[in-house]
Amino acid sequence: MRLFFQKHTGIIIAAAILLAWGSVLWFLLHWQVSFWSPLTYLAVLVMTHLYTGLFITAHDAMHGVVAPGNKKLNTIIGTITAGLFAFNYYGRLYPKHHLHHRHVATDQDPDYHGGNFFLWFFNFARQYITIIQMILMGAAYNLLQLWFPKENIILFWMVPAILATFQLFYFGTYLPHRGEHEPDNRHKSSTQGRNHLWAFISCYFFGYHYEHHDKPYLPWWKLYQEKDRLVKDR
């Protein structure tokens, strides 16, 4: 059993995130919303975190580390998790993300913009949000209204996807790549201070961003180990 888990850890973790996202969303779509209850806003944050997990899983699939050795399954998982995150298209994300790794913080990097936070986010969103996505989101919203209350759909399906987009951008793109980097920083990436709990909550350890660029073959759930290694070696 232990050997099986070690061999298929990426798939098991991806399945757990998918199951958690789907089951929590299903529960919340049926939940009686009270705007006076702090639990409502806590639920929004939980869904935001799970949405971020979907995208991080799709991201790991782009690096082939969700199902190593099984390219087809890896692509299927990446396509599903990207699609569930506001109908992102894995086939479009894949080449852009690898351009980011090859040309980090240059004019050829689709994730990079030298402007302020808002201009950078606008440029980032323009790279990834498409008209087709907006149409699909609108169609899905209208379909969901046939079964679930509008406020539940907005609070637990739409708002978390928007918040997770900001979360991914802020912790996984803007903070690591903003400003000037030392000439010997070949990845042009900074990294969060060592705090594994905050690193997980904020963006599934992707605040350890230099570590990711240095070893893109590590899945998100091993980045904290690389952080520990680098801190220990200093």
Give residue-wise pLDDT tens across range 101-131. 888 888 788 888 877 888 888 888 888 888 8
Return the pLDDT at 4.
60
Q: Cβ–Cβ contacts within 10 Å for residue 170, how many?
A: 16
- Structural domain of residue 29, as residue ranges? 2-233
Residue ranges of alpha helices (H) inside 63-128 are: 71-84, 90-102, 117-128
The model carries a pTM of 0.92
Q: In Å, what is the CA distance from 90 to each residue of 86, 162, 197, 216, 228?
A: 12, 18, 29, 18, 31
Domain count across the chain: 1
Percent of the chain scoring above 90 in pLDDT: 49
Q: Cβ–Cβ contacts within 10 Å for residue 117, how many?
A: 13
Q: pLDDT tens for residues 48-105?
A: 999 999 999 999 999 999 988 889 999 999 999 999 998 999 989 998 888 888 888 8
Q: How far apart are CA 210 and CA 205, in angstroms?
A: 11
The position carrying tokens 């789907």 is 22
